[in-house]
Structures are given as structure tokens and as C-alpha cells.
Amino acid sequence: MLQTQRKDLADIITERRSINSFSDKPVSEEVIIDLLETAKWAPDHGVREPWRFILCLDNGKEHLLEAMLAYNSQCKKPKNPDKIRAKIMGPSAHLLVINNAETNRKKWEENYGAASALIQNFQLCAWEQGIGMIWKTGSYIDNDTFKEAMHIDSDETIIGLMQIGYPDQIPEAKPRTTVLNKITTLK
């Protein structure tokens, strides 16, 4: 049985793709919460659970859009607001993954690793259910105007913005380098 589960997990890992094009089919809040309940079992040094989430659905996407447009207005090279609107309104949901403030560098790195593992668990659990997403980390994640608009403390760290939805298109896999080119074995 363990071998079968392992193969299924391996398939999910290798078949998962970052999705940029979403269908109109909504992903419910309940489904997202259930996925996060599983994803929270990520490796987490000291079980600090450093994360919190802001889930943007329906009118919440409008709030996120306003925050993005406020950030965009401060950029040296602002993007087309219509393109920003399409990126925000297209996916069914957006999830901001935020880590607690941490001044100790070692703990900050451990917390970042834990949140990253949670995000990967979240993506894999979603993919298993036919839900796709993409992990975004634009320069807005460090912008005080964006953070304030989204009710994020200036010393908290945004680990990523997950755009979530059912895929409209699934891109082809990009080639990966064999691990044999990346490993040094000491015997």
C-alpha cells in the first residue's frame, strides 16, 4: 500500500504546474480551508506555526485590487491598471501567506522554510483535487502601502500571494536538470 501511495504522490508532484489561466468555476472558501488544514502539517521547526492567511474571495478581490493599484501608483514604471485588474479578478481566489515578525535571523529562516513547505503542501493537495495556482512574490510584498491596505504589519513578512482556481489551460512541463548534475556524494 505504501508503494501505491508513494507513486500517487510522485505523480502529483511531477504533474503539478503553475497556472496562469483560470476557468470561471469558483473554488469555495470551505475547500480552501480544508486544503490549508492539511497543508499546515508541513515541517515546522519548534512547531511555531509562524503563518497567518488573508483569503480574498468575491469583494475581497476588489480590496486586493485596490491595494495593488495603490502600490502600482508608486512604482517608477507603473503597469497597465487593466492588466492588474485582469490578474486579480481572473482567479477564483487569492491567498496571502504571511509570517509573524521575527528579528532572530535563524528563526526567520526556519519560519520562511516552514511557510514555504506549507505552500508546497497546499499546492499539491489542491492539484490532487484539480485546483491550480501560482505562487507570486512581486515587489509589492515589501511595500508598506500595499501591506497597510491589506492590514499586514510592516514587520510581518509576506511569503507569497497564491492565485487559486480551476485551470483553464495546463502548461507543458518545463525541463528539469537531472539530480545527477547537482549532487555530490561523499562515501
Q: In Å, what is the CA distance from 77 to each residue of 15, 73, 83, 89, 143?
A: 36, 9, 14, 22, 15
Residue 50: partners with Cβ closer than 8 Å, 6 or more residues away: 44, 99, 100, 102, 111, 114, 115
Taking only the tens place, the pLDDT of each residue in 15-71 is 999 999 999 999 999 999 999 999 999 999 999 999 999 999 999 999 999 999 999
What integer is the mean pLDDT of 99-115?
Answer: 96
Extract the annotated binding site.
Answer: 16-18, 45, 135-137
Looking at domain 12-170, does it have CATH number 3.40.50.11140? no
Domain boundaries, the chain: 12-170
Mean pLDDT value across the chain: 95
pLDDT of residue 41: 98
Alpha carbon distance 124, 162 (integer Å): 13
pTM: 0.94
pLDDT of residue 167: 97
Q: Among candidates 174, 18, 15, 39, which has minimal Cα distance to 91?
A: 18
Extract the annotated binding site for FMN.
Answer: 16-18, 45, 135-137
Strands 157-165, 132-136: parallel, antiparallel or unpaired by DSSP? Answer: antiparallel
Residue 1: band (very low, low, confident or very high) from pLDDT cuts 50, 70, 90? very low
